[in-house]
Amino acid sequence: MNRPSPIVILAPCFNEQENIINFLNSLKEVCHVLNGLFEIVIVNDGSTDKTSSLLRSFSLKSEKIKLTIIELDFNIGHQQAIFQGLTYAKSTKANQFIVLDSDGQDDVNLIPKMIKLKNYDIIHVVRKKRKESYFFRFSYAIYKIIFKIITGQSIAFGNYCLINRTVLNRATNVGFVHFPAFLSKFPLSKYYIEVDRHKRSHGKSKMSMADLLNHAIKSFIEYAEQLLVVCLWIFITLLLILVIFAIFILYEKLFTNNAISGWASTVIIGLFNGVLITLSSFVIGTQLLKNSYNQNLKNKISIVKNSEDVTTNN
């Protein structure tokens, strides 16, 4: 008799010694009352505290839940750690994959509801209200507006989601630098669950304002092709303005007696060169950066044993 396909629950972690055991116990309680098999995959992203030793000593003691730990030699970042976990998950027989954070902010009690929802490619968990500082909320609102204008997509969700194997295959084959932005690009069947996110169980967030800004920039990298089109339209628009301005100056010079300011031609040439160089550098840099990130991600695949044993990549 064939065993049913497991459901993979993936969570990256970095220096979560104060939260990781509570997180695993919470997952164990949720999975224990559900039907089916589960595999919990923890990606230890180069933690320098006691996270690794705590993970190695932890035992689920359950026949229906398996724990797999991916030990990374060094910290490669939250999004790359998710990619590592998804790359491993691709080798399993699972058809449903849940991604969430391990700091206690993502409510594991939503997992039964997510699993029950059928016929969706992606199930997103969306925050109802953010509890950060006013400055952070204001900055995040501006970011969402800019993201919407440039990409035409809304991104009000984070990493917490359930995806099917079709989405998993696309993510691991193409690669990504920003998981939520990557998921927002595709016209797939989606469902959104709105909840108030929990506070961290213990400790402080590892994300500084600089890290958050870097995270936001990466979301635009996922839309490199769309940015290319936007830049092209901006360039064409500015070019037309410059051409019209140049024609006006020539007309004034050839067909009227009006004096032409000496700086007019200098301004035209300077603006044209500046716009061309700036936009060209931005477009080329965006494309190269995306290709570089994707290549780096694909080169950092860890070797993991399919058991509760822990294997470190070398």
Continuous H helices in 122-262 = 134-151, 165-174, 179-184, 209-221, 224-255
**Domain match, 100 and 240 both:** no
What are the strands of the beta sheet with 190-195, ordered from one edge? 190-195, 122-127, 157-164, 96-99, 7-13, 38-44, 65-71, 310-312
307 occurs within a structural domain: no
2 occurs within a structural domain: no
Neighbouring residues of 139: CB distance < 8 A, sequence distance ≥ 6: none
**Domain match, 218 and 272 both:** no
**Domain match, 50 and 110 both:** yes
Q: pLDDT value at position 132? A: 63
Rounded mean pLDDT of 80-91? 94
Q: pLDDT value at position 269? A: 72
Is the confidence at residue 250, as pLDDT, over 60?
Answer: yes
**Domain match, 167 and 211 both:** yes
Q: pLDDT value at position 312? A: 41
254 occurs within a structural domain: yes
Q: How confident is the model at residue 292 (pLDDT cuts 50, 70, 90)?
A: low
**Domain match, 217 and 239 both:** no
43 occurs within a structural domain: yes
Tokens, residue 167: 């989405």
**Domain match, 47 and 187 both:** yes
Percent of the chain whose predicted confidence (pLDDT) is above 70: 77
**Domain match, 142 and 37 both:** yes
Is the confidence at residue 220, as pLDDT, over 90?
Answer: no
What distance in Å separates the CA atoms of residue 74 and residue 45, rounded to the nearest whole number? Answer: 7
**Domain match, 32 and 129 both:** yes
306 occurs within a structural domain: no
262 occurs within a structural domain: yes
Give the DSSP letter string of 243-294.
Answer: HHHHHHHHHHHHH--PPPPTHHHHHHHHHHHHHHHHHHHHHHHHHHHHHHHH
Q: Are 17 and 53 spatial neighbours (Cβ–Cβ below 8 Å)?
A: no
pLDDT per residue over 182-198, tens digit each? 998 888 899 999 987 66
What distance in Å separates the CA atoms of residue 147 and residue 102, rounded to the nearest whole number? Answer: 27
3-state DSSP helix/strand/coil % of the chain, to nearest 5 = 50, 15, 35
For the ranges 37-51, 138-152, 175-189, the maximum mean pLDDT occurs at 37-51
Q: pLDDT value at position 228? A: 73
304 occurs within a structural domain: no
Q: Are 44 and 51 spatial neighbours (Cβ–Cβ below 8 Å)?
A: yes
Q: How confident is the model at residue 128 (pLDDT cuts 50, 70, 90)?
A: confident
Continuous H helices in 77-208 = 78-89, 111-116, 134-151, 165-174, 179-184
Q: pLDDT value at position 294? A: 58
Give the residue numbers spanning the domain of 98. 7-222
**Domain match, 117 and 244 both:** no
Rounded mean pLDDT of 199-209? 58
Q: Provide the 10 A C-beta neighbour count for residue 143.
A: 18
What distance in Å separates the CA atoms of residue 283 and residue 287, rounded to the nearest whole number? Answer: 6
Q: pLDDT value at position 131? A: 62
Element (DSSP H or E) covering residue 96: strand 96-99
Rounded mean pLDDT of 258-268? 65
- The least confident of 88-97, 195-204, 211-220 is 195-204
Rounded mean pLDDT of 131-155? 77
Closest alpha carbon to 170 in 69, 294, 8: 294
300 occurs within a structural domain: no
**Domain match, 98 and 218 both:** yes
Q: Are 43 and 99 spatial neighbours (Cβ–Cβ below 8 Å)?
A: no
Degrees to nearest 5, angle at CA 153 with 147 and 154: 75
Q: How confident is the model at residue 60 (pLDDT cuts 50, 70, 90)?
A: confident
**Domain match, 155 and 69 both:** yes
As for how many domains the chain has, the answer is 2
Question: What distances in angstroms separate CA 59 from CA 31, 52, 191, 308, one per listed residue?
Answer: 15, 13, 34, 8
CATH number assigned to the domain comprising residue 169: 3.90.550.10
For the ranges 52-61, 91-100, 177-186, 206-215, the maximum mean pLDDT occurs at 91-100
* 60 vs 114, more confident: 114
**Domain match, 256 and 204 both:** no
pTM to 2 decimal places: 0.76
Is the confidence at residue 282, as pLDDT, over 70?
Answer: no
